């Protein structure tokens, strides 16, 4: 049981380049999330998807787009990367039930030069 998987694990981009971070879960969860983690800031929600076909902005959505491709997959796209987007990106999924935790992927370390 793979849980939540993310690709790639590491990426270096030049300013202005685009890329897509991929996330997949095999737990049949309805909800999926993208967070970024910066030193001293904890995790901040970028976008989330409460169900297949729906997406909503989180706390820090600027510069990002998302696609909920199907129930399993939720991708995060940087159209024109900026150094301020250097961060560790986590994907998570959950049932949405109040007492249920979210399950996190291993993270993607992104460096924008």
Partner 1 sequence: AQKITQTQPGMFVQEKEAVTLDCTYDTSDPSYGLFWYKQPSSGEMIFLIYQGSYDQQNATEGRYSLNFQKARKSANLVISASQLGDSAMYFCAMREPHNTDKLIFGTGTRLQVFP
Residue ranges that bind partner 1, judged by CB under 8 A: 31, 33, 35, 40-45, 48, 50, 56, 58, 88, 90, 92, 94, 96-99, 101-104, 106-107
Q: Is 103 helix (H, G, I), strand (E, B) or coil?
A: strand
For residue 90, the minimal CB distance to partner 1 (Å) is: 7
Question: With respect to partner 1, which residue has the nearer C-beta, 86 or 103?
Answer: 103
Q: What is the DSSP string of 13-34?
A: E-TT--EEEEEEE-S--SEEEE
Question: With respect to partner 1, which residue has the nearer C-beta, 42 or 53?
Answer: 42
For residue 106, the minimal CB distance to partner 1 (Å) is: 6
Q: How many other CB atoms are there within 10 angstroms of residue 47's CB atom?
A: 22
Q: Is the peptide bond prior to 8 cis by the omega test (within 30 degrees of 0)? A: yes
């Amino acid at each position: 049981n793979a849980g939540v998987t993310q690709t790639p694990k590491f990426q270096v981009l030049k300013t202005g380049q685009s890329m897509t971070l991929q996330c997949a879960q095999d737990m049949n969860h309805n909800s999926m999330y993208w967070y970024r983690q910066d030193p001293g800031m904890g995790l901040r929600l970028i976008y989330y998807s409460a169900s297949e076909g729906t997406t909503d902005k989180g706390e820090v959505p600027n510069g990002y787009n998302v696609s909920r491709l199907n129930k399993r997959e939720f991708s995060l796209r940087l159209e024109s990367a900026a150094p301020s987007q250097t961060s560790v990106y986590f994907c998570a999924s959950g049932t949405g039930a109040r007492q249920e935790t979210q399950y996190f992927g291993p993270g993607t370390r992104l460096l924008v030069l």
